Amino acid sequence: MDGHIKNEQVMAEKNGFWDRFNQNSFIKNVRKHWMLYLMILPGIIYYIIFKYIPLMGSVIAFQDFQIFKGLFASPWVGLENFKHLLHYQDFHEVLRNTALIALYQLVFQFPAPIILALLFNEIRILIVKKTVQSLFYLPHFLSWVVVGGIVFELLASQGIVNAIREMLGFEPILFMQEEAYFRTIVVISGVWKEIGWGTIIYLAAITAINPSLYEAAVIDGANRFKQTIYITLPLLLPTISVLFLLNIGNFLELGFDQIFNLLTPMTYSVGDIIETYVYRAGVLQGQYSLTTAIGLFQSVIGFALLWIFNRLARKSEQGLW
């Protein structure tokens, strides 16, 4: 229903645009507002060179790309690279790691800021709220190199975590070298870094809720908990749904920086993800076509998930489009 109206609007806008275009008013427009065209020119050139040309360059996934022949002379091989991938042991492992870590992030990292925002909302003393919030926002601004360094230092054999373990009478553990801990460390460090930042949008949405709703609920005898469950949370749902969709589109893109800075050769078997693998096999070893095929595969999965979940979201709430 909503989508239908939207479609009509888009059609109308399109018609308007082409009508004006056809009336040759485009040239008039350029003449009259040539400064606007001049202003946007550098931006357009930037987007073409660094966004669209690489996007078009993805076609090397269907080639046997050779750097000296270039894009136009390299032979086309159809789906050969993708077929190769399916039988490729490394790819299975990397894909499994990526999907698992992505799933853990979705389950733990996505809801964390929602819960934190609800807890923030229960703090009544403004100065306490502000102070606590500023502490929570800080890690967002640190680079993953720094956070990775912090994690390695704190979890090292002489680090504070092992110091505490020793005090409690446990054996020290080399956390960063053990496969069993890697994904947990990825999730915890991710939550630590981004949980505070993630609350901002939810807090803004909570502020926008009409206070009279709460007043009415109080008169009906709802306590704070019930107000949260029956008013705040339902009214946050559209925000949650939009952020979920934005997230799901990048489902398999875990962020190169984080994994790259936490990974050691000892943990490759559980932590090597698409992006780190593509970097090593593609950028360092020059298997351009194969790794582009992996990248393209990743994008297609992301877009498919976005499309599916957007359809689902449109049925109940609102989608992205």
- Tell me if 88 contacts another protein by CB under 8 A: no
Q: How far is the CB of 256 from another protein (least distance, A)?
A: 6
- Tell me if 99 contacts another protein by CB under 8 A: no
- The 3-state DSSP class for residue 147 equals helix
Q: 3-state SS of the chain: helix, strand, coil percent to 5? A: 80, 0, 20
- Which value, to the nearest 10 degrees, does the dihedral of the CA atoms of residues 183, 187, 188, 191 take? 170
Q: How far is the CB of 223 from another protein (least distance, A)?
A: 6
Q: How far is the CB of 49 from another protein (least distance, A)?
A: 7
Q: Is 272 exposed, middle or buried (0-12, 13-18, 19+ CB in 10 A)?
A: buried
Q: Which of residues 164 and 180 has its CB atom nearest to another protein in the complex?
A: 164
- Tell me if 18 contacts another protein by CB under 8 A: no
- Tell me if 11 contacts another protein by CB under 8 A: no
Interface region with another protein, contact rule CB under 8 A, candidates 79-87, 103-111, 174-182, 291-299 = 291-299
Q: Which of residues 23 and 316 has its CB atom nearest to another protein in the complex?
A: 23
Q: Which of residues 105 and 261 has its CB atom nearest to another protein in the complex?
A: 261
Instruction: Find the binder of another protein among 248, 275, 305, 313 (CB under 8 A).
Output: 275
Interface region with another protein, contact rule CB under 8 A, candidates 37-45, 82-90, 173-181, 229-237 = 37-45
Interface region with another protein, contact rule CB under 8 A, candidates 44-52, 84-92, 179-187, 209-217 = 44-52
By the 8 A CB rule, do 251 and 303 touch? no
By the 8 A CB rule, do 293 and 85 touch? yes
- Tell me if 43 contacts another protein by CB under 8 A: yes
Instruction: Find the binder of another protein among 77, 150, 209, 301 (CB under 8 A).
Output: 150
Instruction: Find the binder of another protein among 79, 103, 204, 312 (CB under 8 A).
Output: 204
Q: Within 13 Å and on the Cβ side, how many CA atoms surround 210?
A: 4
- Tell me if 298 contacts another protein by CB under 8 A: yes
Comparing C-alpha atoms, which of 272, 248, 242, 245 is closest to residue 103? 248
Instruction: Find the binder of another protein among 7, 15, 134, 269 (CB under 8 A).
Output: 134
- Tell me if 139 contacts another protein by CB under 8 A: yes
Instruction: Find the binder of another protein among 6, 7, 11, 39 (CB under 8 A).
Output: 39
- What 8-state DSSP symbol labels residue 267? G
Q: How far is the CB of 282 from another protein (least distance, A)?
A: 5
By the 8 A CB rule, do 254 and 273 touch? yes
- Tell me if 268 contacts another protein by CB under 8 A: no
Q: Which residues have C-beta within 8 Å of that of residue 100, sequence separation ≥ 6?
A: 183
How far is residue 130's CA from residue 119's CA, in Å, rounded to a whole number?
Answer: 13
Q: How far is the CB of 198 from another protein (least distance, A)?
A: 10
Assigned token pair, 167: 């005090």
- Which value, to the nearest 10 degrees, does the dihedral of the CA atoms of residues 225, 226, 232, 238 take? 120
Q: Which of residues 28 and 96 has its CB atom nearest to another protein in the complex?
A: 28
By the 8 A CB rule, do 248 and 304 touch? no
